Structure 1
Amino acid sequence: MLAIIATRIPGPVAETADRDPGILTLVFSLARVVRHGSKAAFARRCALAEAAGGPNPL
């Protein structure tokens, strides 16, 4: 279906400036990775504390 639409367009389409340039996607992806990494590190620390016989911080 996309091929049919693309062949009927007479020329290249000009994109507007308000489109996501990719930097926002990069920033949100990095924030998600950092957040996930910090949660995993906290879970490992809790597991080590519990294995050592200390209180579980959760």
Structure 2
Amino acid sequence: GTVGVASKVFGSIAKKKVNVTMITQGSSELNLAFVVKNSDCKLAVQALHNEFELAKIN
């Protein structure tokens, strides 16, 4: 599997001071869902895009 995915996810949003209120994970380390306050949603998404370099995906 891919090691460190959850660490990258939660580390990147923690740097932005976004609090996670609920976490769930499926059978794969790549299947991850979590809940943040609506007011923190945009900041969390931006942090994830930056961490995983999603702007480079076409």
TM class by smaller structure: under 0.3
Name whichever structure is richer in helix by fraction: 1
Q: TM-score, normalised by structure 2?
A: 0.28
Higher relative contact order (CA 8 A, sep 6+): 2
